[in-house]
A and B are shown apart, each in its own frame.
Chain A
């Protein structure tokens, strides 16, 4: 009896098709990888929940808030001056710049922003630019280290140490500076400080050049960063990116140029911006910004005028201690300032300053008196990180560290 039987051998094409099908099942399983909150590349306490398809990221969900301290709530419960130390702890890599931005916001509310003495304005610019160099040195060093270039980190940290010494001489603290006051500064420059700053300027220029030589044409560094994490101009604007991250994406926008505050309109500097919007462009922007900051410091030192550093108004700035002890009026001013704070008018202001990480803005809503009714901190790192879930998918997992490093965020101000 003849019988036909089908054999399941098949040709080679069918066999490979079957093998593909079996593999498909394996590939169908996506893996979830938890990165952070304590991971060296997340620079603090950022946590990324990554969904992986092999080595490719298919979904990224940034989890923030591990450093949330309720700064905005705290601000509603104290006078304007009492909040200055809290601004140190926002972007803790550039506390001086935060102090300046906050003081300028409150001064705008009080209506004294155009009455600041020239010397105060120049010193504040020096503070901002020193903070910018310090923040970018760390940002670059850590970025380079994340993609495998350890040496740069050591070079930039040597220079940061000098900045900390300068800041210590200036403010009495290395880290938590609390240097500005509403309407002025806590103290004038110490004797001989400008000479030390000039010396530092010469040294840091050399160090920036060294970092430049180590990285800019380094094949490994370029391969890891070029065309990685590309953010188009439209995306950067839509996601509210600011600072070097925005400029890296080909938007020529710098608050110091577009809406000059302090004496930035009297100083000569360029705004570098990138073309492609990849990690490499963001790196180049920061590199050039440091050089511009060094030039700004030199210009400020050359132009630094004499005179007072505080607004001449007993209702805003604490009076001279000698006068407090000898004159009734100053004694009353001191008492009122300490117990009630500056008497702000009712109204609302927003002031944004170009900080190292981007636009740090303070929105103050006042119902009058010495305490804000609502104080909102517009933190640049918060907006800069919100693009991660959009940019990361499609990248290899090893690109995550490069992208995070190039975005250069600080969780202290992101979480507030």
Chain B
């Protein structure tokens, strides 16, 4: 039996660490930037206060703590609540079988996170998608192009200030877009409580 388990191999139950222990270890390593773990529905979330260090935190998590699988990378538009952009990293380790979520935010002026595509190659496409949908750049990304929309499309459709119906655009000989016919729309719904009149102001962005 080798002492170090091969990547992707499950560790024995005795040597396995729980997600809480792993979160603590990460917190110890990056005392100044990593927050205490918040738990909700059995999932642990760590906030990284300095976005410029997220790549180092991720590299340490992968290389020293066995988080070899980046399940998902996504971004959130916080709209009027500064800082505007939040990146969310879902990590998993095949060896210890634990999930961990990292979150970090940057302001609208910066709009840039360090890339983690050098840590996990799967992040390459996830970051391209985040760039395509939200317009957030990833510094050091080897190939930051649009991925779902076409090259030359002028907007970032997942931003909260982009209307659901879409906006007109045209790239000659490539593609064009027209607002979708929404009867009486655009039905822009605001998250949160309140009745449907409060949640669904018919035109939230009049210039639409």
Residues from 179 to 201 in B contacting A, C-beta threshold 8 Å:
187-196, 199
Would B191 and A382 count as touching, CB distance under 8 A? no
Please, what's the 1-or-0 string for B56-88, where 1 marks a CB less than 8 Å from any CB in chain A?
Answer: 000000000000111110101100000000001
* 24 contacting pairs across A/B (C-beta < 8 A): A64-B148, A65-B146, A77-B189, A78-B189, A108-B41, A111-B41, A233-B7, A234-B7, A234-B8, A237-B8, A237-B69, A238-B68, A240-B70, A253-B8, A347-B41, A348-B40, A361-B71, A363-B72, A368-B191, A371-B190, A373-B76, A374-B77, A386-B124, A386-B125
**Pick the contact of B76 from A240, A253, A361, A365 — CB < 8 Å?**
A365
**Pick the contact of B43 from A111, A350, A416 — CB < 8 Å?**
A350
Complex: how many Å from CA A372 to CA B190?
9
**Pick the contact of B40 from A347, A363, A382 — CB < 8 Å?**
A347
B105 within 8 A of A: no
Would B189 and A237 count as touching, CB distance under 8 A? no
Residues of chain A contacted by B124 (CB below 8 angstroms): 386
Would A340 and B69 count as touching, CB distance under 8 A? no
A245: shortest Cβ distance to chain B, in Å?
Answer: 13
**Pick the contact of B191 from A64, A233, A369 — CB < 8 Å?**
A369
Residues from 348 to 404 in A contacting B, C-beta threshold 8 Å:
348-350, 352, 359, 361, 363, 365-374, 376, 378, 382-383, 386, 390
Nearest 9 pairs between A and B by C-beta?
A: A240-B122, A65-B148, A376-B74, A386-B125, A378-B72, A68-B148, A373-B191, A369-B192, A347-B40
Would B76 and A383 count as touching, CB distance under 8 A? no
Residues of chain A contacted by B129 (CB below 8 angstroms): 382
Residues of chain A contacted by B33 (CB below 8 angstroms): none
Would B149 and A65 count as touching, CB distance under 8 A? yes
Complex: how many Å from CA A374 to CA B41?
17
Please, what's the 1-or-0 string for A268-285, where 1 marks a CB less than 8 Å from any CB in chain B?
Answer: 000000000000000000
Closest to B10 in A: A252
B16 within 8 A of A: no
Q: Given A237-B68, A240-B70, A359-B71, is A251 in contact with B94 using a C-beta cutoff of 8 Å?
A: yes
Complex: how many Å from CA A416 to CA B147?
12
A258 within 8 A of B: yes
Please, what's the 1-or-0 string for B86-101, where 1 marks a CB less than 8 Å from any CB in chain A?
Answer: 0010100010010101
Residues of chain B contacted by A108 (CB below 8 angstroms): 41
A70 within 8 A of B: yes
Would A369 and B193 count as touching, CB distance under 8 A? yes
Would A238 and B120 count as touching, CB distance under 8 A? yes
Q: Given A367-B191, A369-B199, A373-B191, is A240 in contact with B41 using a C-beta cutoff of 8 Å?
A: no
Please, what's the 1-or-0 string for A242-276, where 1 marks a CB less than 8 Å from any CB in chain B?
Answer: 00000000111100001100000000000000000
Residues of chain B contacted by A365 (CB below 8 angstroms): 76, 88
Name A residues whose Cβ lies closer than 8 Å to a Cβ of B.
Answer: 64-65, 68, 70, 72-74, 76-78, 108-109, 111, 233-234, 237-240, 250-253, 258-259, 339-340, 343, 347-350, 352, 359, 361, 363, 365-374, 376, 378, 382-383, 386, 390, 415-416
Q: Given A258-B97, A359-B71, A363-B90, is A368 in contact with B125 using a C-beta cutoff of 8 Å?
A: no
Chain B count of residues within 8 A CB distance of the other chain? 49
Would B43 and A349 count as touching, CB distance under 8 A? yes
Complex: how many Å from CA A64 to CA B124?
14
Residues from 159 to 208 in B contacting A, C-beta threshold 8 Å:
162, 164, 187-196, 199
Please, what's the 1-or-0 string for B109-123, where 1 marks a CB less than 8 Å from any CB in chain A?
Answer: 000000000001110
Complex: how many Å from CA A41 to CA B80?
46
Residues of chain B contacted by A369 (CB below 8 angstroms): 191-194, 199
Would B149 and A68 count as touching, CB distance under 8 A? yes
Q: Given A76-B189, A361-B72, A376-B72, is A340 in contact with B195 using a C-beta cutoff of 8 Å?
A: yes
Q: Given A348-B45, A415-B148, is A386 in contact with B122 using a C-beta cutoff of 8 Å?
A: yes
**Pick the contact of A366 from B71, B97, B191 — CB < 8 Å?**
B191
Residues of chain B contacted by A370 (CB below 8 angstroms): 199
Complex: how many Å from CA A382 to CA B125?
8
Residues of chain B contacted by A386 (CB below 8 angstroms): 121-122, 124-125
Closest to A378 in B: B72
Complex: how many Å from CA A213 to CA B97?
37
Residues from 101 to 144 in B contacting A, C-beta threshold 8 Å:
101, 120-122, 124-125, 129, 133
Residues of chain A contacted by B88 (CB below 8 angstroms): 348, 363, 365, 376
Q: Given A65-B148, A240-B120, is A349 in contact with B41 using a C-beta cutoff of 8 Å?
A: yes
B108: shortest Cβ distance to chain A, in Å?
Answer: 17
Closest to B129 in A: A382
Complex: how many Å from CA A416 to CA B125?
14
Residues of chain A contacted by B162 (CB below 8 angstroms): 73
